[in-house]
């Protein structure tokens, strides 16, 4: 509850908007496919009428399935639809990677698996998860094997680029109750 004149704040809303340099066309296509995949999975979850963990277990997916990966970009719109005034938006990096940074090594990523040695045992679940998601996206015609192959080539080159960087934002939205 917020009284008239009070503020409603959404803090640290995530969104799958990676900012990357240099650009990687196929890697970007992978991100787009993942966004459409998670929207489809979200709709599938909502239509199932099941609680999140039951759905996740039955469909062998992560518990985060029911998150709207577009929430960050939609939050200001939701605040306006709710009748809030003076809506303000701010953004800051949630995670950043650049040459020399600890996150700047080829590893099991959200979208691609690159050169993960057997000794990185903790990543093997992620490798299975990514492979499973790729097969589902191919079956849904959101992605194809050639795009995955070319995205891996781009990602490997990107990791070796001296000026490469990438960050994922957190979005903050505030609105005043009239």
Q: 95 in a domain, yes or no?
A: yes
Q: Nearest Cα to 34, choosing from 122, 176, 130, 164? A: 130
Q: 140 in a domain, yes or no?
A: yes
Mean predicted confidence (pLDDT) in 96-121: 63
Q: 1 in a domain, yes or no?
A: no
Q: Between β-strands 165-176 and 85-98, what pairing exists: parallel, antiparallel or unpaired?
A: antiparallel
The total domain count for the chain is 1
| Mean pLDDT taken over the chain | 78
Q: 2 in a domain, yes or no?
A: no
Q: 147 in a domain, yes or no?
A: yes
Contact 86, 176 (CB under 8 A): yes
pLDDT at 33: 87
pLDDT at position 80 over 80: yes
Q: 103 in a domain, yes or no?
A: yes
- The torsion of the CA quartet 141, 145, 151, 157, rounded to 10 degrees, works out to 180
What is the full DSSP assignment across 58-82? HTT--GGGGS-TTHHHHHHHHHHHT
Quick: pLDDT tens for 21-79: 888 888 888 888 888 887 787 787 778 887 766 666 665 555 455 566 677 788 899 99
Instruction: Output phi, psi for 45, to 5 deg.
Output: -60, -50
Q: 16 in a domain, yes or no?
A: yes
- Give the range of the structural domain holding residue 41, as residue numbers without chain letter: 7-176
Two tokens, residue 113: 């698996």
């Amino acid at each position: 509850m917020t009284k008239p004149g009070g503020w409603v704040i959404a803090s640290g809303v995530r969104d799958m908007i990676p900012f990357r340099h240099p650009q990687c066309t196929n890697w970007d296509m992978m991100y787009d496919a993942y966004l459409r995949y998670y929207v489809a999975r979200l709709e599938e979850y909502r239509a199932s009428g099941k609680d999140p963990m039951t759905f996740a277990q039955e469909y062998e997916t992560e518990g985060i399935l029911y998150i709207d990966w577009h929430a960050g970009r939609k939050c200001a719109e939701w605040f306006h639809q709710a009748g809030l005034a003076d809506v303000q938006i701010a953004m800051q990096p949630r995670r950043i990677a650049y040459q020399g940074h600890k996150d700047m090594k080829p590893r099991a990523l959200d979208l691609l698996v690159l050169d993960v040695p057997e000794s990185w045992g903790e990543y093997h679940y992620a490798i299975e998860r990514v492979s499973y998601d790729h097969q589902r996206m191919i079956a849904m015609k959101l992605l194809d094997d050639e795009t995955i192959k070319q995205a891996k080539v781009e990602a490997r080159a990107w990791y070796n680029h001296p000026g490469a960087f990438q960050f994922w934002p957190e979005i903050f939205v505030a609105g005043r109750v009239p």
